[in-house]
């Protein structure tokens, strides 16, 4: 069986993690950003799935307090899984957005409300400090994140948070945050056919600064343009066929080939898909295959 070790490692501050991680959003239902459009996984099955991920070398888990449905909370499931696990696992959560008890989205938190969100994550996860907290930019475009990130930096100084990161940001936000406190990761939408983080220089900036770049939607391609998606799908299928792999594995492998600082956090409720995602970390793509996948789709300049 392949393990997450095959993909190599990167450091989130002083915490070394394998580059194949696991995103927990789907454990609460299949909806985006915690809205449950599907049936959440059985609680015991979810804990077993998390244990299986840990056994396969996954030691980087992505979560958020707003990943919940009427029946499931991602943080509660992680807490339960870790309480019966002997290994070291880095849990990365995010603050900024919030949802009410009935699931409705609330406005972006004010800087003075972030401590409450951090404390809620601490309570749900059963911890006395959080490994990594990402400030997620949400809602109307935000010109500056300095007040919000400064508030988190104070919580880091107080010992509630070990490391800080950013999510859904632009390069100027990273530069602004670095003036306040160290940034260990940046989590943005990114994939084979959604490469705005390349166009903006964000992926390369993270490498230059020693910051992990952590794509979400790397496999699903939720925002891709239809024409581009169809063309890339054909290329992905041809590469997958050559390796006896799945298209999802090729997409994950392409993402990891983008740089040694790129981490993957695919989520699934299917044990077989979990094993396939982990195995993608050992899938080596040739220079010719990477060139084929990197080629712009027809109609682009």
CA of 147: how far to CAs of 66, 105, 288, in Å?
A: 22, 22, 46
User: Distance between CA 31 and CA 67 in Å, rounded?
Assistant: 10
Cβ-contact 115, 108 below 8 angstroms:
no
22 is catalytic: no
E-assigned strand segments in the chain: 9-12, 15-18, 22-23, 60-62, 90-95, 98-99, 105-106, 130-136, 161-167, 185-189, 212-216
Q: 107-111 long-range CB contacts below 8 Å, 24 or more apart?
A: 107/139, 108/138, 108/139, 108/140, 108/142, 109/148, 111/147, 111/148, 111/150, 111/151
Place of tokens 């959440």: 40
CA of 4: how far to CAs of 8, 57, 59, 178, 277, in Å?
A: 8, 5, 9, 30, 9
Residues annotated catalytic, as ranges = 67
């Amino acid at each position: 069986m392949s393990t997450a070790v095959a993909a190599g490692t990167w450091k989130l501050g002083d915490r070394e993690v394998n580059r194949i991680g696991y995103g927990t959003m789907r454990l609460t239902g299949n909806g985006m950003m915690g809205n449950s459009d599907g049936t959440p996984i059985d609680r015991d099955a979810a804990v077993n799935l998390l244990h299986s991920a840990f056994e396969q070398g996954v030691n980087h888990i992505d979560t958020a307090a707003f990943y919940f449905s009427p029946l499931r909370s991602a943080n509660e499931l992680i807490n339960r899984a870790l309480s019966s696990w002997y290994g070291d696992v880095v849990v990365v959560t995010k603050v900024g957005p919030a949802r009410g008890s009935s699931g409705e989205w609330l406005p972006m938190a004010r800087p003075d409300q972030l401590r409450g969100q951090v404390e809620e994550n601490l309570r749900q996860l059963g911890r006395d400090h959080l490994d990594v907290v990402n400030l997620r930019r949400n809602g109307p475009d935000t010109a500056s994140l300095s007040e919000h990130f400064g508030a988190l930096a104070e919580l880091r100084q107080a010992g509630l948070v070990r490391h800080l990161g950013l999510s859904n940001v632009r390069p100027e936000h990273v530069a602004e945050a670095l003036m306040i406190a160290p940034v260990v990761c940046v989590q943005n939408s990114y994939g084979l056919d959604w490469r705005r983080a390349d166009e903006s220089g964000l992926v390369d900036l993270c490498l230059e600064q020693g910051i992990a770049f952590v794509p979400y939607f790397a496999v699903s391609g939720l925002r891709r343009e239809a024409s581009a998606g169809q063309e890339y799908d054909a290329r992905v299928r041809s590469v997958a066929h050559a390796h006896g792999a799945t298209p999802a594995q090729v997409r994950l492998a392409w993402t990891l080939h983008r740089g040694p600082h790129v981490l993957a956090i695919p989520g699934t409720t299917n044990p077989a898909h979990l094993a396939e995602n982990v195995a993608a970390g050992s899938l080596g793509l040739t220079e010719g295959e990477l060139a084929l996948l990197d080629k712009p789709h027809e109609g682009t300049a």
